[in-house]
Structure 1
Amino acid sequence: MATTSNGPRPDQGSSEQPAAANVPKAVADVGLDVPSQPFLDEQLHGQTTRTTKRSRRTKDDTGPASTNTSEPVAETTDPAHVHASVQALAARIEPEAPVPLATLPDEIRQSVTALQPGRRSTHGSKYSLAYFPGPQVRRPCGDRFGYLTTARTRSATRLPFTAANRGLLTALGTAMAAPGRDAPIADSTIDAGMTYAGQFIDHDITLDVSSSLDISTDANTVHNMRSPSLDLDSVYGRGPALDPFLYDMPGPGANPTAIKMQLGTNLPSGPGGPGGPAGSVGMVQHADRDVPRLLGSAHTAIIGDPRNDENLVVVQLHHTMLRFHNAVVDAVLASGFSGDVFVEAKRIVTHHYQWAVVHDFLRAVCGPTAVSSAMSSVSAPPNSAFRMPVEFSVAAYRFGHSMIRDTYWLNFNFPAGTLAQVFQFNRNPHLPVRSNWVVDLNAFFPTGIPVPVFNKARKIDTGIAAGLEHLPGFTGMMEMLAVRNLLRGLALGLPSGQGVARAFGITPLTAAQLTAGLPAPEQAALSAAGGVLLTRTPLWYYVLREAAVLKGGNRLGPVGARIVAETFARMLKRDPDSFVNQPGGFVPILPGASAGAFTFADLVTFTRMNLP
């Protein structure tokens, strides 16, 4: 059985580092001892290993710095409109940066641009670690990514980080999203709501802001900026004491601990959302079914994780989670609870959410057998060491990308909303979310209220919805999701799908199974260069293909299911506060369709987001 690497690898920490901000191109295989951002120290301290001559001034030199006019000059502000003290300071700032913006990885430069209100996209965004609090980045005990498989398995089965292999993977990713590749659309048996529940869950446990497609990187050096536990920090942030802007504090005379979450408003645009049992005539013009947002033109969401404002469906799910907490606060108050209402409500919300993740989401995508096996076999004592495995975060858990549809029944107004609209109507000038675009979650989760079309997720396979190949806010390689996923796995040195299968004691897929029934361009991409991708198949692609071949696209296959289920089991077991570590065990107490159970559909119903 494969083991989890929870500490630094023996070969980690090489003293050799590339020149500052020189993003090494893959001309030959590169070792994985490179930190995720080798230019960080220069950004923070001005250290340099560059040979370019830089102008310097002494501390007594108050004159303007000399500049090399042959190099690009940064944009400046008109001195006539700058305060004299600002001009004085500007004269003392060295204009030649130790790490010029143009030399930063393309992902970082595009991600910063994509934050602008007109584009606003956070999907896969990468930023300089200097944007984040120093202790969060510098401390050796900070959360990191790591590996599930052994170094031997990875080195023996990974694709070398070379220009040739980058070309092979680019061709494969392009074939996966070729026009018409996934037509006709094949529905799975999985509810479409699980696609977006999976995205919400991902934003609760992982956030890689620093790894690059262009740097061969040891995952142990990559920071995870989310807590690797299902603690809903994407909702609660750092709590009401440190992030009070997320919360609706009780007024005078109210229980001071009955702290709720802030809710947003809607842009009045007519009836929308669920019609309830009455159907379309039951729709109303909602005024409070969005997340809270800053006033002004940007309408930035005031939530614990900005990625949950990425598209219309996931932001409506985040709004549902805010209502979930508030409804539980009301229930705790009604019970006459004598303790801290917020603490008790958060505990109830978190435990029921965790239960739904295991018993609803995981059982749907991994299958009951894989989930039961993982929950019974994984050993992870409370507070034990853990690094989020990139075999999970960069490969197996990205199965959800293949489940996304090009069109959805969103509500009675929009029976065939396109994926482009799902992104468009979560951006200006349509913010706050328009009242007529409020999503009818009865079409995503089986609440028992009928709708004309109940959305099913696409089958898990290697076809990617065409709408995902033009992600808003990005251009070039950054907007091509399938290519990015494949190159990310290459840069982080992931083992092949065959290598993981053998490590698990599972018979790998054959070349015939990998290629059977695929379009000719995809078969050609797999067979190129002597068929290296058929023997060292990228783990993400292998997981998708395994699901399609062995499970008809209706759930993950044995390798993918084991990686996903065991990672969740380990996260829950090592968290002393999770539902699995509650004294005497845990049984849901909130109302559900079945006694002793709780699903995401029950959560939607409890919050009354299934009704007008």
Structure 2
Amino acid sequence: MSSRHAIMPRGLNATRSPLSQGRFGRIFRNLTPAKFGPNEADTVGNLAALADKMVAKFDAPKDGPDAEESGIPALYTYFGQFVDHDITFDPVSSLTKQQDPDGLVDFRTPSFDLDNLYGRGPSDQPYLYDGIKLRLGETLSGQGVPDASDLPRFKGRALIGDPRNDENSIVSQFQGLMLRFHNRMVDDNDSLSFEAVQQRVRFHYQYVVLNDFLPRIVHASVLNDLKTNGRYDRSKLAYYHWKTFPFMPVEFSVAAYRLGHSMIRPGYRLNDADNMLLGIFPDPSNPDQNALTGFRAMGPGRAIDWGRFIDIDKRAFGVPDADNNPDNKKRLQFAYRIDTALVDPLGHLPPEVASNPASLALRNLERSWALKLPSGQAVARAMHLTPLTDDQIIIGKAVDEPGPDDPQTKIATIANGVFAGNCPLWTYILAEARYNQASVTIPATGGPSTIKTPQLGPVGGRIVAEVFLGMMFGDNSSLLSLDPHWAPVTGSDFALKDFVSYALGQGAPLH
């Protein structure tokens, strides 16, 4: 065996050693679980009433800007999904199968080690590799897209480190970009071993997580409280602590990090072709409709023009309510705002995605209750913060000028007041983000230069940031542990757009 293959990378033996299996647990272990009714039936009914309010009516997928857009390019939604699949895997298939978070085993190592990309490495899973490069799939076609590849597949099934990264067309093709990023890093560093290339890929990825992704979704005031002289400081972690190795907190995995569900658009345009403006799910009345659902070979013409998802080039902002304007078809799409409104397709998930309940909002709320999470107000007080008032917890779209079709419902008016002073943690964190808006620069031309964008605040942002930082500080081979002053050779402003450009073969080599 070549020395470039011989050593299994750190973290890839997660399924073999019990010491490398992180476990789910709690940050706020001493808080009382929130109750939303005198019995299970009433609780589920009350949570269903809240979930109904959290699923809002949105326009069908369209070209051009709309009022619900944030200043965050759309790819960050699916980068966040990719990150989630990297750091956690919950094997429980039923909400009621296991209600004790200490009994949930996270079979993914709780660290930013890209095991969803590398699997168990070329020694254990050679079918993922061609030498020390990762295998690519069939060439993809797409109008205006010169170079794209599907994932490697066998009978339609993706051969990748984590099959969840094929669950929709966007995260699937982003996984393909990650394969290409690694392969180009091999080409640019052809004298290095697999392990050395892998570390470089991980460092660039972790750098983007820390210096680009976190600042997009978490308010700057929260992140600044975790720094000393401009750098993240382990001693500033006040809530997320572990004895031997990092664990996966349910407050993070079941509540705070589910922010991305509110960022999802009803659909996305993939490329120039007229039939490539696709909904996230098929219309229930037309199950054969073309949509972004995954777990299958990528259909013809579906290659993504990444300039529609991330600012790798300059795009016109688009013209509202002018569907035939050609600039609208080519524009950079933005994630929806982090708020307490999910697009209506997420209220009616297709049977092949989920059922009983089919509402993603209700699934999240029931999951939080089943795992006995405290209320948002209780967590805020435990963090020595003044909780949001009931009047500040608004259920609905965080648009600048709500119209008659944009109801703004105060939490205390739902389900006969059962949520007054007692908001489920996930909902509270989304409402807090809506209340903590920042002025974000729009990376496009022809439109506004900035836009108000909700970001995670002192409860949700602190949980997410501390878990991200804590996992990296707890990993002896991470960027923060090995070389906290490290930056890509192209400069400290390296961001997700640069990561994508490099994977596409653009820009200078990375070493």
Aligned to 1:208: 90
Distance 1:228 1:236 in 2: 15
Aligned to 1:304: 161
Relative contact order: is structure 1 or structure 2 higher (C-alpha 8 Å, sep ≥ 6)? 2
Asked whether the 8 Å contact 1:572–1:578 carries over to 2, the reply is: yes
Does residue 266 of structure 2 align to residue 406 of structure 1?
yes
Distance 2:374 2:174 in 1: 34
Does residue 130 of structure 2 align to residue 245 of structure 1?
no
Greater CA radius of gyration, 1 or 2? 1
Report the Cα offset of residue 583 of structure 1: 4.6
Greater percentage in helix: 1
Distance 1:180 1:210 in 2: 32
Distance 1:481 1:197 in 2: 19
Would the alpha carbon gap of residues 535 and 303 (structure 1) be closer, same or farther in structure 2, given more than 3 Å must change? same
Report the Cα offset of residue 426 of structure 1: 5.0
Asked whether the 8 Å contact 2:69–2:337 carries over to 1, the reply is: yes
Aligned to 1:419: 280
Distance 1:264 1:444 in 2: 22
Amino acid at match of 1:534: A
Would the alpha carbon gap of residues 550 and 449 (structure 1) be closer, same or farther in structure 2, given more than 3 Å must change? closer
Amino acid at match of 1:328: M
- TM-score w.r.t. the length of structure 1 is 0.66
What secondary structure sits across from 1:327 in the alignment?
Answer: helix
Would the alpha carbon gap of residues 195 and 510 (structure 1) be closer, same or farther in structure 2, given more than 3 Å must change? same
Aligned to 1:196: 78
Distance 1:140 1:604 in 2: 34
Q: Aligned pairs, how many?
A: 439
Does residue 308 of structure 2 align to residue 459 of structure 1?
no
Alignment of structure 1 residues 164-563 onto 2, 5 Å: 164-180=42-58, 185-210=67-92, 212-214=94-96, 217-249=99-131, 259-266=132-139, 271-272=142-143, 275=144, 283-284=145-146, 286=147, 289-294=149-154, 296=155, 299-333=156-190, 337=191, 340-374=192-226, 375-376=232-233, 377-378=236-237, 384-414=244-274, 416-420=277-281, 424-425=291-292, 427=294, 432-450=297-315, 452-472=330-350, 473-474=352-353, 476-515=355-394, 523=409, 526-528=412-414, 530-551=416-437, 553-563=453-463
Question: 4+ residue stretches of structure 1 with deviation over 3 A?
Answer: 135-142, 157-161, 178-185, 379-384, 421-428, 515-526
What secondary structure sits across from 1:172 in the alignment?
Answer: helix
What secondary structure sits across from 2:225 in the alignment?
Answer: helix
Greater percentage in strand: 2
What secondary structure sits across from 2:335 in the alignment?
Answer: strand
Alignment of structure 1 residues 64-143 onto 2, 5 Å: 139=18, 142-143=21-22
Amino acid at match of 1:492: L
**Among residues 492, 498, 504, which one is paired with 1:602 in the alignment?**
498
Aligned to 2:478: 578
Amino acid at match of 1:544: L
**Among residues 133, 140, 145, which one is paired with 2:24 in the alignment?**
145
Amino acid at match of 1:364: R
Aligned to 2:443: none
Q: 1:290-335: CA deviations, max 9, x gaps? A: 11000x3xx00000011100001101110000000000001111xx
Structure 1, unaligned runs of 5 or more: 1-134, 250-258, 276-282
Report the Cα offset of residue 457 of structure 1: 0.7
- TM-score w.r.t. the length of structure 2 is 0.78
Asked whether the 8 Å contact 2:396–2:407 carries over to 1, the reply is: no
Report the Cα offset of residue 475 of structure 1: 5.6
% identity of equivalent residues: 37
Would the alpha carbon gap of residues 520 and 308 (structure 1) be closer, same or farther in structure 2, given more than 3 Å must change? closer
Would the alpha carbon gap of residues 137 and 498 (structure 1) be closer, same or farther in structure 2, given more than 3 Å must change? farther
Asked whether the 8 Å contact 1:543–1:560 carries over to 2, the reply is: yes
Q: 1:139-173: CA deviations, max 9, x gaps? A: 5873211111132x234x45577221111001211
Would the alpha carbon gap of residues 604 and 181 (structure 1) be closer, same or farther in structure 2, given more than 3 Å must change? closer
